[in-house]
Amino acid sequence: MTAHADIPAVRPRARISSRYLPYILSLPALLVCIGILVPFVTAIYYSLQRYRMSQPWNRGMNWGENYLNFLSDSSFWHTLQVSLVYAFLTVGIELLLGLGIALLLQKRSKVNNFVSIMLLMPLMTAPALAALMFKLMTNSNFGILSYFMQVLGFPDFRWGASPSTALFTVVLVDVWVYTPFIMILLLAGLRSLPTQPFEAAALDGVPRLEQFWRITLPMLTPYVLTAALFRLLDSIQQFDIIYAMTQGGPGNTLMVFQVEAYLNFFQSTNVGRSTALLLILWAITYILSNIFVKHWLRLRERARGEA
């Protein structure tokens, strides 16, 4: 018997040809792309139709009539106005609060780390659930927030039940839920800034406020734009908070794009108008995201040039 008779035979491993490897690695991205494009193209097809689920026999192509009707539809312009006001109002308040909290927690310490973790709790709450919680707290009969308003001298504060205070109510819920998101992004940005410019400014006797305007804010601007972009794209598509609180009311006070599209689809069964509304919303988010990305790239190129 030979010495190598007991050595087991080594099976050749199956190898993937390098010619096919890029296609195999890109297959998941291709599947995701197909999963996105198929509903998108279907929505475009439906938006060009006169289609109500309650009247399937009256279905047919109207070739853009749904979009042309929006030009003379006052409710559409009201929806556009409410959506933009809601988005910019919530993002503006959340940026200010998030930046202020991040500045307070900028110094690394056990207390600041613990507080930053605790402040993330609202972000872990589902927005619809948070809206229902606030709906209970603002109840005029037993809500604790209504009780506090009575103590402050506002006994008839109606929160989401009044057109004059409905926007304030849903903005309050949105700010409570999403300010921690802005805070944690800006806090990460603040803690990653280089310390040399601040040390040099402190040696030169530059006041802290001037350091913020001349050093901190310019260096933090890319992080601010990134946080604002994420929140703006989410706020302008807001549905769960507004629908859970007021369902777009009172009346049409808070009739944003997503809520109106939902009501058009499931109540009026108007598929064509609903999909046309959502495609207009997609166009608005696409334009806004391009504006933010161009500004972000410009800031990055300027930073590279200064470096």
pLDDT, one tens digit per residue, over 53-74 is 888 777 888 888 889 988 888 9
- Mean pLDDT for the stretch of residues 141-167: 89
CATH number (domain holding residue 139):
1.10.3720.10
pLDDT digits (tens, 9 = 90+) for 172-214: 999 999 999 999 999 999 998 888 888 888 888 888 889 889 8
Phi, psi torsion values for 157, nearest 5 degrees: -70, 115
Quick one: pLDDT band at residue 155, thresholds 50, 70, 90?
confident
Task: Let me know if residue 62 belongs to a domain.
Answer: no
- CA dihedral of 275, 281, 283, 287, whole degrees rounded to 10: -170
Residue 18 lies inside a defined structural domain of this protein = no
Which structural domain range is residue 196 located in?
74-306
What DSSP string runs through 185-220?
Answer: HHHHHHHTS-SHHHHHHHHTT--HHHHIIIIIHHHH
Q: Report yes or no on 29 lying in a domain.
A: no
SS3 20: coil
Number of domains observed in the structure of the chain: 1
155 domain-assigned: yes
What value does the mean pLDDT of the chain take?
A: 87
Residue 57 is assigned to a structural domain of this protein: no
Residue 4 has pLDDT above 80, yes or no: no
Closest CA to 276 of 55, 56, 36, 76: 76
CA separation, residue 110 to residues 77, 106, 147, 174, 246 (Å)? 50, 12, 36, 28, 41
Is 177 a member of any domain?
Answer: yes
Structure tokens at 305: 């040039």
pLDDT beyond 90 at 131? yes
Is residue 244 a part of any domain in this protein? yes
User: Does 288 have pLDDT greater than 60?
Assistant: yes
pTM of the prediction?
A: 0.86
Q: Which band of pLDDT confidence, cut at 50, 70 and 90, is reported for residue 12?
A: low
pLDDT band at 240 (very low <50, low <70, confident <90, very high): very high
The answer as to whether 43 is a domain residue is no
